[in-house]
Amino acid sequence: MSKSYAGGCACGAIRYEISGEPAVMVDCQCRQCQHDSGTGHQSHLTFVAVQVKVEGDVSQWQTVGDGGTVKRRSFCPTCGSSVYMTFPDMPDVFIVTPASLDDPSRYKPQLVSWTAAGFAWDHLDPAVPKFDRMPPA
């Protein structure tokens, strides 16, 4: 069994522990991820929600992604750190940001999505497969 993934917000008011391995690790260049990260993309580790335990109260806001997916982003009401994201239409999916991990070095991007919304100045690993929108299922 692998070591769990643990993390939380910058001030420690929110903590999570995830017992499984990520289904996928993605850099996303969609416009909503750009807004959320404050730069050219946001990175995500996607897990199965039943593997996740969260402690602490979060604030949330909801948006609709470039592809029409409703996203619920959770952040700390004290420090403002973005911690995780869920999808009301896909309750089995739980996504964390690598910066929220206790060990962010565990993040290894496997693909880049929504390059159609990306910027030339946002240089991502050229060896990682890239998709104009979402990759095929």
pLDDT for residue 62:
92
pLDDT over threshold 60, residue 1: no
| Block residue for tokens 């420090």 | 79
DSSP reduced 3-state for 1: coil
Per-residue pLDDT reduced to its tens digit, 81-126: 989 999 999 999 999 999 999 999 999 999 999 999 999 999 999 9
What's the pTM value of the predicted model, to 2 decimals?
0.88
User: Could you give the domains of the chain?
Assistant: 5-116 (2.170.150.70)
By CB atoms closer than 10 A (0-12, 13-18, 19+), residue 17 is: middle
Per-residue pLDDT reduced to its tens digit, 26-41: 999 998 889 888 899 9
